[in-house]
Amino acid sequence: MAAFAETTFKPISEARHLRFAIETDSRLPSSFETDIQRLNQILKNLLSNSFKFTEKGVVKLRMYEAERNWKTGNANLDNANKVVAFAISDSGIGIPQEKQNIIFEAFQQAEGSTSRKYGGTGLGLSISRGLADLLGGSIELESSPGHGSTFTLFLPVMPNAGSKPVLITTGQTKDYGQFPFSPASTGINSLLDSYRGNNEEKDPKSLGVVNEMINDTGDDRTNVEASDKVLLIVEDDLRFGKIITEKAHEHNLKAIVATSYIEVFDFINRFNPIAITLDVKLPDTSGWKVLDLLRTDLNYRHIPIHLISGEENRSLALKRGARSFLLKPLNNQSLNELFTDIISFDEKELKRVLVVEDNELESSQIAKMLETDVISVEIAPTAASAIEKIASADFDCIILDYTLPDMSGFDLLNKVHHAKQRLTPLIVYSARDFNKTERNLLNNVTNTVLPKGVNSLEQLLEEIVLHLHVRYTDLSSEKRRVIENRRIKEDILTGKNILVVDDDVRNLFALTTVFERYNINVMTAESGKEAIAIINDDNIKTDMVLMDIMMPEMDGYETTQKIRREHKNSSLPIIAVTAKAMKGDRQKCIEAGASDYITKPLKIDQLLSLMRIWFYK
């Protein structure tokens, strides 16, 4: 347990500049049996709250053999031979006696000062108390304003067949100091490991539809090896999908055809494609929305996307991060050029960036910000040197200042536009206030225009990584943190109020922990009746509902139908969460009033993408 707490909270103590101490009593048993997952969830939540509400000083976890200082009435504790206590204390703001019951009530609408001061504790503490009950224990609170708080979890020591023994190293006290914090170490997906559905077999009819589609297109989903390079084709026209599949086979690529946006994220996770062709017109949503979702998600944005449309929208596609734009109908030459670019771009390990900037200090700052193991930077201080470099070498992205001493910005843009490779992104990075004529030119020949200013280098880094399709994990931890912070601030889910309806508190805890990372406001309901009460409360704003279908008493279908009948906001997005993927499930959910559905086991990236798509206009 000490190792778990150390691994999880050393980084947070460093980030918050707090001392973190772990103390174990020598009288403790060497181990005892309990549900380790639930115990870890409780401790993680209690420690998270302590760190959240402690601005300076110390947070301490003390593990010891308890005397009889828990509240009477818990038969498991009262009758246990021994009781183990986990006390989390802090030097934080403290909680007055009259507020101590409120913070254990999930989403209690307390008066304003309480909400502001103790906001964010209710759900976690409510869930933790519920989990403690499941383990046969209890949680007690001792606190006063200005003197910090101590939350103590009491658990009985008793045999429990089938549980894993929890090992405790006794007689130790540790203080944890500095530890480098890595955004990639958060383990978000692992939190959903407990959010699993039954491994039920697929409906044979559903498998028959898939087999028919595979036969119609030549799809390789049942024949992909780990060493294969895969192209993901997002296309509902199976005849056109077959044409691209056959061309992929000619270039020694495997091809997977996705006919809906839900399949897109599933297939990316399963097959790790080197590129995606994306048709703008899909049956269930716009391809533009899918493009936006992929380009704004750190886990997917490195994959080059080649947008296909029957209408001319090349400029818009490139500005939104597409690698290329293809206008239907496609001829054989266009397809060959497409696959030549897909393969050559995938094989290029080092991406080259040309910075056209006459200010030596600014160009060196740009180079310092951009250079990594996978990005090299060259600098051209004049327009003449820039044109010479472009003519003699292939660059993967060009950044230029509009104002240079030896050529007007208008002439420079035109020359660079005609000299560069067709698919090379062009980014204008300038402090100039552009007039209408200049803006029209920029819209026609550039991918992005960025004004110089505060935090503009961070924005430039994000744009370069986006247009170079650099894998987020290939960047240094500092650069990852810059991009991650920008993404979270700009995420369309930030600040949204999401109601999660599920009768299993473990699932509520897992999703809440994930959503907090994205600055999503979470509300929970453990029954359909409770969900309806929250949604109908005029004092509570609900932007979306995640509805578990399998609940006792009033199931998700009935709850959704009742919400649709009673709630004044008929456009409220409701995403049904089902435990199995059977043919007709989606239609049944939609008929009940759900906006969409997703199946367990949940994949956090797919869930977040599905949620985002319902907030795009």
Residue 116 lies in a domain: yes
Alpha helices in 226-351 (DSSP H): 238-250, 261-271, 287-296, 314-319, 332-347
pLDDT of residue 412 exceeding 80, the answer is yes
Note whether 198 and 580 are within 8 A (CB). yes
Residues 341 and 358 placed together within one structural domain of the fold: no
The pLDDT assigned to 112 comes to 35
State the pLDDT confidence band at 211, using cuts at 50, 70 and 90. Answer: low
327-361 pLDDT, tens digit per residue, is: 988 899 999 999 999 999 999 989 999 999 999 99
Q: Which tokens belong to 592?
A: 């009940």
Tell me which of 182 and 445 has the higher pLDDT.
445
pLDDT at 171 over 80: no
Q: Looking at residue 212, what is its pLDDT? A: 57
pLDDT value of residue 177: 32
Q: Are 196 and 50 a contacting pair, CB within 8 Å?
A: no
Give, as one character, the DSSP assignment of residue 193.
Answer: T
539, pLDDT greater than 70? yes
Strand ranges for 374-479 from DSSP E = 375-380, 397-400, 426-430, 448-451
In this predicted structure, what is the pLDDT of residue 15?
64
Q: Are residues 442 and 464 in the same domain?
A: yes
Question: Which of 177, 207, 235 is the C-terminal boundary of a domain?
Answer: 177
Query: Residue 122 sits in a domain of what CATH number?
Result: 3.30.565.10
- Does residue 320 lie in a domain region? yes
* Structural domain contains residue 189: no
In this structure, of 36-40, 139-143, 530-534, 594-598, the range with the lowest mean pLDDT score is 36-40
Q: Give CA–CA dist 149/90, Å, rounded.
A: 6
Q: Is the pLDDT of residue 198 over 60?
A: no
Task: State which of 468, 490, 512 marks the end of a domain.
Answer: 490
Q: Which residue has the higher pLDDT, 477 or 121?
A: 477
In this prediction, residue 584 carries a pLDDT of: 67
- Let me know whether 164 and 68 are in one domain: yes
- pLDDT per position as a tens digit, 494-512: 889 999 999 877 778 778 8
Average pLDDT, the chain: 80
Q: Looking at the structure, tell me whether residues 51 and 117 fall in a common domain.
A: yes
Whether 91 is in a domain gets the answer yes
140 shares a domain with 69: yes
Instruction: Quick: pLDDT tens for 359-407.
Output: 999 999 999 999 999 999 999 999 999 999 999 999 999 999 988 889 9
Q: In Å, what is the CA distance from 304 to each residue of 192, 400, 467?
A: 28, 23, 9
> Looking at this protein, which amino acid is placed at residue 342?
I
Residues 6+ apart with CB under 8 A from 162: none
167 and 75: one domain? yes
What are 520-531's pLDDT values in tens digits? 888 988 889 999
**Least confident among 205-219, 374-388, 457-471:** 205-219
Last residue of a domain, one of 490, 513, 541: 490
109 shares a domain with 229: no
Residues 406 and 377 in one domain: yes
Residue 183 has pLDDT above 50, yes or no: no
CATH code of the domain covering residue 275 = 3.40.50.2300
207 in a structural domain? no
Between 185 and 172, whose confidence is greater?
Answer: 172
Return the higher-pLDDT residue of 10 and 191: 10
Range of the domain at 558: 497-613
Is 200 a domain residue?
Answer: no
Residues 463 and 585 in one domain: no
Radius of gyration of the chain (CA): 28
pLDDT-derived band at 287 (thresholds 50, 70, 90) equals confident
Three-state SS string across 537-606, please? CCCCCCCEEEEECCCCCCCHHHHHHHHHHHCCCCCCCEEEEECCCCCCHHHHHHHHCCCEEEECCCCHHH
The pTM assigned to this predicted structure is 0.54
Say if CB 269 and CB 262 are below 8 A apart.
Answer: no
Residues 51 and 167 in one domain: yes
Tell which phi-psi region holds residue 146, choosing left (phi > 0), alpha (psi between -120 and 50) or beta. Answer: left
Domain count, the chain: 4
Same structural domain, 449 and 381: yes
Rounded Cα distance between 175 and 209, Å, is: 59
Q: How confident is the model at residue 580 (pLDDT cuts 50, 70, 90)?
A: low
Residue with tokens 């707090």: 18
42-56, 123-137, 222-236 — most confident range: 222-236
- For residue 558, being part of any structural domain is answered with yes
Same domain membership, residue 99 and residue 77: yes
Task: Among 265-269, 282-286, 532-536, name the one with the lowest average pLDDT.
Answer: 282-286
Residue 198 domain flag: no
CA-to-CA distance for 262 and 209, rounded, in angstroms?
A: 16
